[in-house]
């Protein structure tokens, strides 16, 4: 398996633009997580899917953020409109369940909003 | 309030020595605790898991201890190598929902 695949690796966009981040989890993993990482706050869970269904979206900061998982092999995180304070590294991770031993993370998307 | 804390200052050690990293928590009753390694520009990579009823877990040069009385986990790397230089994150798993609560990580630099 190629691991968790995220795209793009880097994204620079202007404030107000729509940003879409993509993730392909590991085949057979039934849980998918979107995290945001900053120096000040570390890893913050944005949303958690189990079997393609959103279970916990309490970490989604505002209505500007939305996430979908249309099937077991693909998920998107969308920010519309983007703001400079959204600049961070966004990680997707998958596992055999929330809290299961060993989440597998993608390499992340570094988002810069100018 | 609930907190999980790791050494905020970077740890610098000489090659061959043992590195010891600390993870402290308050007001949690963790079911277990995980340690991850993160290299620059990469996502965290799972290393070890230790359960609340385990005192110690080993994997090659890595050793993790878990003291639920002290509310602390220690992560040791013996015979450290420059390739061990990275940021190490601890994550508690707690509650019925098994949510992971992450520390901010400790940066380790092993000097040749």
pLDDT digits (tens, 9 = 90+) for B42-69: 999 999 999 988 989 999 999 999 998 9
Q: What percent of chain B has pLDDT over 90?
A: 74
pLDDT of residue A7: 97
Q: Are the C-beta atoms of residues A61 and A73 closer than 8 Å to each other?
A: no
Reported as a pLDDT band with limits 50, 70 and 90, residue B28 is confident
pLDDT of residue B1: 63
The SS3 call for residue B57 is strand
Reported as a pLDDT band with limits 50, 70 and 90, residue B9 is confident
Statement: residue B99 has pLDDT above 90: no
Residues of B with CB under 8 A from a CB of A: 31, 34, 41-46, 49, 89, 93, 97-100, 102-105
pLDDT of residue A81: 96
CA distance A72 to A105: 16
pLDDT of residue A114: 97
Average pLDDT, chain B: 92
Cβ neighbours of A101 in B, within 8 Å: 34, 46, 49
Cβ neighbours of B100 in A, within 8 Å: 45, 98-99, 103
The SS3 call for residue B84 is helix
Phi, psi of B10 (to 5 degrees): -65, 145
pLDDT of residue B80: 97
Which among B14, B29, B23, B35 is positioned nearest to B73, based on CA atoms? Answer: B23
pLDDT of residue A78: 98
pLDDT of residue A57: 93
The SS3 call for residue B83 is helix
Q: Cis peptide before A8, with omega less than 30 degrees from 0?
A: yes
Instruction: Indicate which of A103, A107, A108 best probes the interface with B, i.e. most B CBs within 10 Å of its own CB.
Output: A103
* Residue stretches of chain A with pLDDT short of 50: none
Q: Are the C-beta atoms of residues B51 and A104 closer than 8 Å to each other?
A: no
Phi, psi of B78 (to 5 degrees): -90, 155
């Amino acid at each position: 398996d190629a691991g968790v695949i995220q795209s793009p690796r880097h994204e620079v966009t202007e404030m107000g633009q729509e940003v879409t981040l993509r993730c392909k989890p590991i085949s057979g993993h039934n849980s998918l997580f979107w995290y945001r990482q900053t120096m000040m706050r570390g890893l913050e869970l944005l949303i958690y899917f189990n079997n393609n269904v959103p279970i916990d979206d309490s970490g989604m900061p505002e209505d500007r953020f939305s996430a979908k998982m249309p099937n077991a092999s693909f998920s998107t995180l969308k920010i519309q409109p983007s703001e400079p304070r959204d600049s961070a590294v966004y990680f997707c991770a998958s596992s055999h369940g929330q809290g299961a031993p060993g989440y597998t993370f993608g390499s992340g998307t570094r988002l810069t909003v100018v | 309030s609930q907190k999980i804390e790791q050494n905020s200052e970077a740890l610098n050690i000489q090659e061959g020595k043992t590195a010891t990293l600390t993870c402290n928590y308050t007001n949690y009753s963790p079911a277990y605790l995980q340690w991850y390694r993160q290299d620059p520009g990469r996502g965290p990579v799972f290393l070890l898991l230790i359960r609340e009823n385990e005192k110690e877990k080993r994997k090659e040069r890595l050793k993790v201890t878990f003291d639920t009385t002290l509310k602390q986990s220690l992560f040791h790397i013996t015979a450290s190598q420059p390739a061990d230089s990275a940021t190490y994150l601890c994550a508690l798993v707690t509650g019925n929902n098994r949510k992971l609560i992450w520390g901010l990580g400790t940066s380790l630099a092993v000097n040749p």
